[in-house]
Structures are given as structure tokens and as C-alpha cells.
């Protein structure tokens, strides 16, 4: 049978669809309505990091300038607000002393944080898979979170003594709640159609949890971990306030009793630095363990419709 072509109509080669399909299958051509950006090079990454960090740096410099101005103009007595120079002098002269106590607080923080993560994830899984446990345990967790930890810290010292145990317990209690809430939210945020598909394919509850529920909950979990790790520092220091002979809480308490505000400010700065470093470490772990989540935030693929 001969092929008739209308006059003026463009000729379409028969091999064109196959060629286009081949390019799409090979990844050479993007799908319709999608623009794929090239991966940024080193220079672009440095510029992006500078773009993200210059605002906090400017704010930090402004705060330091305001601090220096208040101290230099003697608007506040020196024993209330020391100068940045006096605080820096303490940091340099007492580096060994502060480092020794910082390691104690860091150890208490990390141990309490890890216990809170394990216990929090386990409790969240049990609560999601058992509505009875959730209805029973959730109000108790909420009540325990509302109770001020510094109010019950002396009770832990009476029960557990003046060792490291009360500090770790307080860190666990403070960090536990964000982990549970974020994990429960992540496990419940799974698309119901994915769960139905898994059941249709004959997957066991364990396989569904490992392949679908747990991976889908990780972004929510890491959001809670970043909050929990900073709260764990606070919990360890609060425990040291109540009863300790080492740690940054002990340093701050002694400096406050001696009206040694430069040492007090130095202890606060080191404590804040520990919290920031731990927060950054959790964020790095998130990017390494969830590359698909990080790539979505980098917006390497942009829809055009």
C-alpha cells in the first residue's frame, strides 16, 4: 500500500520516535516539563555556602560589637557583664581547665542522647503499631515533659548519688520527648497507598516496616534528633547544677558563686559551642544517610509546568 502525504505537511521519519525513545531511555533527554540542572562545581558550592552563612556571620559580629560597646562605655558594671577581652583572656588562660570539664559534659550529653534515641525510637514504634499503648503511654509522656526537669533533678541525686548517673538521666528525659514525637509523626506520615501496595504484594509487617515505614520516617526523625541533641546538652548541665564536682555546669555554678563573670561567660560560650558542634554532626549524618532527601532540597530537578 502506498503512503500518501498531504501537500505542505511536514514529513515525519519513521525512525524519529525510536530515536527519541532511545534518548529518553538512555537519560540523554529529560522528560517533558522537567529541566535537569547540572551538579554544581566546587566554586558554585563555595559561593552557595557563603550565601547561606554571611547573614549569621553579620549578626554575630553585630552582637559582639554591641557587647564590646556596652563593656567599653561602662554602661553596665564589669562584674555583671565582662568585656569580650576579659572573656577571651579566660578562654586562653584556662583552656586546659575548660577542656577537662567540657569532656565530662560532652560525654554525659552523648550518652544521654544515644539512650534517648534508642528508647524514643522503640517507644514510637510500639505506639504506632498499638493504639492501646499509644492511648496509655502518650498522656504519661506529655505529663513527664511538662514537669520541669530542674525541679526533679535533686530527687535523682538523692536516688542515684552525686555520680554521672543523674546527669545522664536528666539528659535522657529532656531529649526523649522530641525523638518520640518526631518518630511517631514520621511513621504515621507514610502514604496509605504504599502500605496497601505492600500488603497486596504479600510483604510481611517486618518487611513493610524495614522497606517503607522506617525509611519514610527518617526525615522526621532527624528533625527531632537535631532538637534533642541540643536539649541533651542542657539536661547534662542542669544535672551538674544540682550536684557535681566536674563539668561545665559545675564551672558555671562556681563562677556564679564567686562573681567571676568572665569565667561564667566563658563556660556559657563553650557550652553553646558543644551544642552547635553536635547539631552540625547530626545534620551531616542526615545528609550522608538521606542523600535522596538532601538532593530534593538542592532542587537539582525543576518542573516547568
Using pLDDT thresholds of 50, 70 and 90, give the confidence band for residue 144.
Answer: confident
Using pLDDT thresholds of 50, 70 and 90, give the confidence band for residue 195.
Answer: confident
Share of the chain above pLDDT 70, in %: 81
Using pLDDT thresholds of 50, 70 and 90, give the confidence band for residue 244.
Answer: confident
The x, y and z cell numbers of residue 148, run together, are 520541669
Asked if the model's pLDDT at residue 299 lies above 70, the reply is no
Cα of 67 vs its chain's centroid, Å: 29
Q: What is the pLDDT of residue 24?
A: 42
Average confidence score pLDDT of the chain? 82
**Residue ranges in the chain assigned as alpha helix (H):** 16-26, 42-72, 84-93, 95-129, 131-146, 149-160, 165-188, 192-200, 205-208, 214-242, 248-257, 261-289, 291-298
Note whether 94 and 263 are within 8 A (CB): yes
Interatomic CA distance for residues 179 and 141, integer angstroms = 12
The x, y and z cell numbers of residue 199, run together, are 500488603
State pLDDT tens for residues 267-297. 999 999 999 999 999 999 998 988 876 544 5
Say if pTM beats, i.e. exceeds, 0.85: no
Within 10 Å of residue 132's Cβ, how many Cβ atoms?
8
Least confident of 111-120, 198-207, 234-243: 198-207
- Which of the four CATH numbers 1.10.10.10, 1.10.3720.10, 3.20.20.100, 3.60.20.10 does domain 83-298 have? 1.10.3720.10
- Cα angle vertex 290, ends 289, 294, to 5°? 130
Note whether 257 and 191 are within 8 A (CB): no
14-23, 49-58, 291-300, range with greatest mean pLDDT? 49-58
Asked if the model's pLDDT at residue 185 lies above 80, the reply is yes
Task: Please compute the mean of the pLDDT values over residues 59-79 and round it to a whole number.
Answer: 84
- The closest alpha carbon to 223, from 262, 184, 257, 169, belongs to 184
State pLDDT tens for residues 78-90. 778 888 889 999 9
Interatomic CA distance for residues 227 and 102, integer angstroms = 20
Note whether 195 and 71 are within 8 A (CB): no
Asked if the model's pLDDT at residue 234 lies above 90, the reply is yes
Interatomic CA distance for residues 72 and 67, integer angstroms = 9
Q: What is the pLDDT of residue 30?
A: 53
Asked if the model's pLDDT at residue 33 lies above 60, the reply is no
Domain locations along the chain: 51-81, 83-298
Who wins on pLDDT, 35 or 139? 139
Q: What is the pLDDT of residue 305?
A: 43
Note whether 198 and 181 are within 8 A (CB): no
Q: What is the pLDDT of residue 56?
A: 80
Share of the chain above pLDDT 90, in %: 43
Q: What is the pLDDT of residue 143?
A: 86
Asked if the model's pLDDT at residue 17 lies above 50, the reply is no
State pLDDT tens for residues 249-267. 999 999 988 889 999 999 9
3-class DSSP state for residue 31?
coil
Who wins on pLDDT, 233 or 34? 233
Using pLDDT thresholds of 50, 70 and 90, give the confidence band for residue 40.
Answer: low
Amino acid at each position: 500500500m502506498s503512503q500518501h502525504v498531504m501537500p505542505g505537511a511536514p514529513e515525519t521519519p519513521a525512525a524519529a520516535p525510536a530515536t527519541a525513545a532511545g534518548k529518553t531511555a538512555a537519560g540523554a533527554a529529560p522528560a517533558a516539563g522537567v529541566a535537569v540542572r547540572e551538579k554544581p562545581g566546587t566554586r558554585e558550592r563555595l559561593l552557595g555556602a557563603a550565601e547561606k552563612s554571611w547573614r549569621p556571620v553579620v549578626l554575630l559580629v553585630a552582637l559582639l560589637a554591641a557587647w564590646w560597646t556596652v563593656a567599653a562605655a561602662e554602661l553596665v558594671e564589669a562584674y555583671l557583664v565582662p568585656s569580650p577581652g576579659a572573656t577571651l583572656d579566660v578562654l586562653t588562660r584556662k583552656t586546659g581547665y575548660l577542656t577537662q570539664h567540657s569532656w565530662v559534659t560532652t560525654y554525659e550529653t552523648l550518652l544521654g542522647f544515644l539512650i534517648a534515641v534508642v528508647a524514643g525510637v522503640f517507644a514510637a514504634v510500639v505506639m504506632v503499631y498499638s493504639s492501646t499503648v499509644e492511648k496509655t503511654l502518650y498522656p504519661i509522656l506529655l505529663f513527664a515533659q511538662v514537669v520541669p526537669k530542674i525541679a526533679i533533678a535533686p530527687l535523682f541525686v538523692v536516688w542515684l548519688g552525686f555520680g554521672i548517673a543523674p546527669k545522664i538521666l536528666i539528659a535522657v528525659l529532656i531529649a526523649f520527648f522530641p525523638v518520640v514525637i518526631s518518630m511517631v509523626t514520621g511513621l504515621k506520615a507514610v502514604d496509605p497507598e504504599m502500605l496497601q501496595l505492600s500488603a497486596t504484594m504479600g510483604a510481611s509487617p517486618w518487611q513493610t516496616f524495614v522497606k517503607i515505614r522506617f525509611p519514610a520516617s527518617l526525615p522526621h526523625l532527624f528533625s527531632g534528633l537535631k532538637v534533642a541533641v541540643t536539649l541533651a546538652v542542657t539536661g547534662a548541665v542542669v544535672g551538674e547544677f544540682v550536684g557535681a564536682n566536674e563539668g561545665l555546669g559545675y564551672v558555671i555554678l562556681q563562677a556564679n558563686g564567686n562573681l567571676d563573670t568572665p569565667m561564667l561567660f566563658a563556660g556559657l560560650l563553650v557550652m553553646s559551642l558543644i551544642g552547635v558542634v553536635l547539631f552540625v554532626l547530626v545534620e551531616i549524618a542526615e545528609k550522608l544517610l538521606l542523600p535522596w532527601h538532601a538532593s530534593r532540597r538542592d532542587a537539582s530537578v525543576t518542573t516547568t509546568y
